[in-house]
Amino acid sequence: MGFSSALQGRAAHEALIVRQDAELRLMETMKRSIQMKAKCDKEYAIGLTAVAQQGLKIDRADEMQGSLISKSWRSFMDELDQQAKQFKFNAEQLEVICDKLSHLSQDKRKARKAYQEEHAKIAARLNHLTDEVVRKKSEYQKHLEGYKALRTRFEEHYIKAPGRSGRKLDDVRDKYQKACRKLHLTHNEYVLSITEAIEVEKDFRTVLLPGLLEHQQSVQESFILLWRNILLEAAQHGDLTADKFKEIQKRIDTVISSINPTEEYGEFTEKHKTSPTTPLLFQFDETLIEDIPGKLTASTLTVDNLTVDWLRTRLVELESAVKECQERQLKMIEHVNGGSPVANGSVISNGSSASNGIQSNKDSQNRQSKDLNALRCQEKQKQKLVDMIKCALNEVGCEELPSGCDDHLSLEQNFIEHGFNNEQQRSNSTNSPGLGIMNELMRRGGVLTLLRGRGRHFKRKSTPQPTTPMARARQGRFSKLQPRSQSLGSLSLSLSTNRPLYEEEWFHGVLPREEVVRLLNNDGDFLVRETIRNEESQIVLSVCWNGHKHFIVQTTGDGHFRFEGPPFPSIQELIMHQYHSELPVTVKSGAILRRPVCRERWELSNDDVVLLEKIGRGNFGDVYKAKLKSTKQDVAVKTCRMTLPDEQKRKFLQEGRILKQYDHPNIVKLIGICVQKQPIMIVMELVPGGSLLNYLRKNSNALSTRQQMGMCRDAAAGMRYLESKNCIHRDLAARNCLVDFEHSVKISDFGMSREEEEYIVSDGMKQIPVKWTAPEALNFGKYTSLCDVWSYGILMWEIFSKGDTPYSGMSNSRARERIDTGYRMPTPENTPPEMYRLMLKCWAADVESRPHFDEIYNVVDALILRLENSH
């Protein structure tokens, strides 16, 4: 049953129009969905490429040379990259399919409109004739009624005056005859209109409408065929079981199956095979006891009244450790054998041990045997020490222990006679050698046990000192941070002065929280810094303790400072109290101050920098020419706006953190950073020529080819150094290079740099210099040093075009499209052909085909040498 016979009714026609509208909406829905799938496939391709590139970071690892599993992994990652390319290709094909759907939708709309117009046309003719028949019938009825009335009148006149004539009778007869004629004409028109309507209706019903519907059915079905083919094509480009994906998976399976554990370490073993390990000789250094008379003997335990208690305690500890080793061995053996006895001390597996799903039973047994052997070794080692201590104690006996202090008895007696408890007398007696030693012992230890065998304690009556080894060590470390103090007394004195907080070595100014966290690595590490909250300055104590904790210093009503404990008149005294008392900063945090972290050597004082004049503007703030007070050296200073959030300040300081470790004549030198107060500043060497881009434009007529090539060589030298340090610049351009004396070029502006062999952008591609950036970085967000090589090619073009804008007249998107299709900028005027060929190599679409900076430097250097020799 087709359209021609089944859809002739008005309701069917309207339903067909509604169906066509629904199909058009379905097409639009499909198009949007396929567009979304194409977008998702592209994003997945980008992610898959990032995964593959991350996995291929081992490519330079010579340590894995000859490894089958490393080789298989590289192949695995290469195949993932192929998958990414296939997904990207499929996504592009889906976009083509979306275009086909758009065209199909447009054609379908046109066909629907043509059908409606044709249907309306043939229906209008039938409707017109139907109306005409009705009209003719109405006229017929009208003329019939007139005819009947005139006929009646005429008959009346003839009956009343038969055989007579006259004007009135003639008038009646004429009207009657006219009515007869009109009636007959109307009758004929009515008959003809009915006949025509019958034929038109018959043709409409049997020829025109069926033909239109049959044609429409054909059109509809042809659209469905095209539609189906489009969907089949879309399905094919989303089919993960397609042959191409199967081949990739098959290759992955093949390379993984090629891993043979018995062959994995063959080449490694052959390459690194060595002679058996030479035994290490541990011998007592007898020079240590050369100046000690008689009491101590090399490699022999000394048992006397000073050591016997310690030896006995140590013996108990070691015997406990031996027992623990034995118990652990027994538990391990019972676990393996289900409680069955063990023959000859070896593990006998009864097959009851379950596999963990990764290792075989054999691997599990080997591991347990290894652990058991380790425990036996520990037991033997500690038993050796037990036997040694027992032997020493048995030789001496317990009734009369030799004295370990006889040689120092006179010193002790001298100390007692000089009045240990007299503070003034002790102060005046420091010139005495014996008392000098005792005072030093008192200063370091606080409590001394001096009288042999009696346990009598003598304590200082001065300011309490740290009494534990940990506390003494902590005080020593903290004292080193105070250049003005050499002892606890002088340290306390320095804290009572009016020295400002920013002079303390452990105060780091307005260093951002992210930078602070980088400095605090071990539990107990701490520093003090300043932060701005709600436009108000606050002092913060930052501590590493089960993570990183930050405590705001509270201010009391009388101007003192505190945390949860007592208040102090200065922040320095508050920090010293927390440090020496070893009390938690807050009970909830439990954080204890153990080691103050000093400012790094490249952290300068803000007051040491005098800003002279503004010479530029950067992304984070203004750039100034400045002078260092200490050295009178002219410097360049980048400032960071105070209103920027900490995240932006961290990015600002990143350039300084990268530059601080570099030293190369073609890399701008860092002098230091200033974070003691706002604004944060990066201090660098002042390069007098300014921006390379401005220099090229200002001196375009004066530059020679030799000078331009020299600039290229300088830039290559700097980038070669960065490449050797695994630093990716990411923003190499003439605007970010500086010119020193004699046209020397220095690489600058490391705000976007990353210290990695490969960097994947994870926070979007905003503020990316499109015309300087390599295609793989734009398309996939993947940066390597070879991306800098592409940018270097653009830099060369800028140098030889004397400061022209790359891809002049093109928008970023247009330039990107042209580059992807293979377009490369033409050579600037008067550029040596060899230099332009080098530019083209830098712009190779295949990343691995680009030269590294070492090769670039050698090529440019050789060309300069050849140019100089020719002249």
Give dist(CA 148, CA 140) in Å, integer: 12
3-state secondary structure of 509: coil
* pLDDT at site 444: 33
Report whether pLDDT(140) > 60: yes
Considering the domain architecture, whether residues 727 and 757 belong to the same structural domain is answered as yes
pLDDT at residue 751 above 90? no
Q: What pLDDT sits at residue 293?
A: 61
Peptide bond preceding 679 in cis form (omega within 30 of 0): yes
The answer to the question of whether 532 is labelled as a binding residue is no
Give the model's pLDDT for residue 863.
Answer: 94
Of residues 764 and 701, the one with the higher pLDDT is: 701
Report how far apart the first and last C-alpha atoms of the chain are (Å, whole number): 94
**CB neighbour list of residue 573: distance below 8 Å, 6 or more residues apart:** 495, 496
Q: What is the pLDDT of residues 246-301, one digit of tens each?
A: 888 888 888 888 888 887 767 777 777 777 767 777 777 777 777 776 667 777 88
Annotated catalytic residue, options 731, 763, 804, 820: 731
The response to whether 575 counts as a known ligand-binding position is no
| Residue 312 in tokens | 């006995």
Query: Does the annotation place 357 within a ligand binding site?
Result: no
What's the rounded mean pLDDT across residues 619-636? 88
What percent of the chain has pLDDT above 90? 31
Does residue 767 share a domain with residue 675? no
Q: Is residue 336 part of a domain?
A: no
594-610 pLDDT, tens digit each: 999 988 777 788 888 99
pLDDT at 854 over 90: yes
Report pLDDT for 416: 34
Q: Which of 443-447, 569-573, 626-630, 844-848 has the lowest mean pLDDT?
A: 443-447
773 and 656 in a common domain = no
> Between these two residues, 699 and 156, which has the higher pLDDT value?
699
In a domain, 642, yes or no: yes
Confidence tier at 349 by pLDDT (50, 70, 90)? very low
Q: Where are the beta strands (DSSP E) in 576-699?
A: 595-596, 603-604, 609-617, 622-628, 634-639, 670-674, 681-685
Characterize 343-375 residue by residue with b for buried, 16 or more Cβ atoms within 10 angstroms of its Cβ, and e for exposed: eeeebeeeeebeeeeeeeeeebbeebeeebeeb
Give the C-alpha separation, 384 to 375, whole Å: 14
Q: Find out whether 228 is annotated in a ligand binding site.
A: no
Residue 666: pLDDT over 90: yes
Residue tagged 């009346």 (tokens): 156
**pLDDT reported for residue 534:** 65
> Which has more confidence, 282 or 831?
831
Task: Clarify whether residues 797 and 666 are in a common domain.
Answer: no
CATH number at residue 852: 1.10.510.10
709 and 665 in a single domain? The answer is: no
Structure tokens at 644: 């920027």
The answer to which of 120-134, 173-187, 223-237, 274-288 has the lowest mean pLDDT is 274-288
Contact 544, 524 (CB under 8 A): yes
Segments forming the whole domain that contains residue 542: 469-594
Within 554-659, residue ranges assigned H as helices are 571-581, 646-659
Task: Give the CATH number of the domain where residue 486 resides.
Answer: 3.30.505.10
**More confidently predicted of 315 and 537:** 315
| Mean pLDDT value across residues 219-237 | 89
Amino acid at 154: F
Q: Are 145 and 201 contained in the same domain? A: yes
Maximum average pLDDT range among 117-121, 157-161, 280-284, 364-368: 117-121
Instruction: Give me the pLDDT at residue 841, please.
Output: 96
Residue 314: pLDDT above 80?
A: yes
| Residue of 331 and 545 predicted with greater confidence | 545
Would the annotation count 623 as a binding residue? yes
Distance of CA 626 to the CA centre of its chain: 35
Alpha-carbon span 706 to 835, nearest angstrom? 12
Question: Which residue among 546, 569, 594 closes a domain?
Answer: 594
Tell me which of 80 and 471 has the higher pLDDT. Answer: 80
Does one domain contain both 19 and 101?
Answer: yes
Query: Residue 55 annotated as binding?
Result: no
164 pLDDT exceeds 70? no
Is residue 621 part of an annotated ligand binding site? yes
**Does the residue 51 lie in any domain?**
yes
Residue 299 near residue 284 (C-beta atoms within 8 A): yes
**Given this model, what pLDDT does residue 806 score?**
95
Residue 284 lies in a domain: no
Quick check: helix, strand or coil at residue 334? Answer: helix
Name the band, by pLDDT with cuts 50, 70 and 90, for residue 440: very low
Q: Greater confidence, 353 or 864?
A: 864
| Domain end call among 459, 489, 518 | 459
Question: Which tens digits make up the pLDDT trace of 717-746?
Answer: 999 999 998 888 888 999 999 998 778 999
- Dihedral angle of Cα 482, 484, 489, 491, to the nearest 10 degrees: -30
Within a domain: residue 860?
yes
The answer to whether the beta carbons of residues 34 and 97 sit under 8 Å apart is: yes
The CATH number of the domain holding residue 23 is: 1.20.1270.60
* Residue 253: predicted pLDDT: 87
Angle (CA) 672 677 679, round 5°: 75
Q: Specify the pTM.
A: 0.41
Query: Which of 568, 594, 620 finishes a domain?
Result: 594
**Least trusted range by pLDDT, from 73-77, 598-602, 696-700:** 598-602
The per-residue pLDDT for 160 is 66
Query: Which pLDDT band holds residue 185 (cuts at 50, 70, 90)?
Result: very high
Q: Are the CB atoms for 834 and 870 separated by under 8 Å?
A: no
Residue 453 in tokens: 């065998």
Please write down the long-range contacts of 76-80, taking CB distance under 8 Å and 24 or more positions apart: 76/252, 76/255, 76/256, 77/51, 77/52, 77/53, 78/52, 79/248, 79/251, 79/252, 79/255, 80/48, 80/51, 80/52, 80/55
Mean pLDDT (the chain) is 79
**Domain co-membership, 570 together with 698:** no
- Backbone CA torsion sign across 846, 848, 850, 853: positive
Within a domain: residue 454? Answer: yes
- What sign does the dihedral 37-42-46-52 (CA atoms) show? positive
Domain count, the chain: 5
Between 763 and 499, residue with greater pLDDT: 499
Structure tokens at 255: 């390379």
Whole-number pLDDT of residue 389: 86
| Tens-digit pLDDT profile for residues 31-67 | 999 999 999 999 999 999 989 888 877 655 567 777 8
Are residues 629 and 587 part of one domain? Answer: no
Radius of gyration of the chain (CA): 49
Q: Is residue 318 part of a domain?
A: no
How far is residue 819 CA from its own chain's centroid?
27
Residue 406 identity (one-letter amino acid): D
Residue 342 has pLDDT above 60, yes or no: no
pLDDT at 98: 92
Judge whether 171 counts as a catalytic residue: no
pLDDT over 70 (residue 765): no
Same-domain pairing of 854 and 725: yes
In this predicted structure, the answer to whether residue 688 has a pLDDT above a threshold of 50 is yes
Whether residues 718 and 849 fall in one domain: yes
Lowest mean per-residue pLDDT among 63-77, 363-377, 411-425:
411-425
615 assigned to a ligand binding site: yes
Residues 198, 84 share a domain: yes
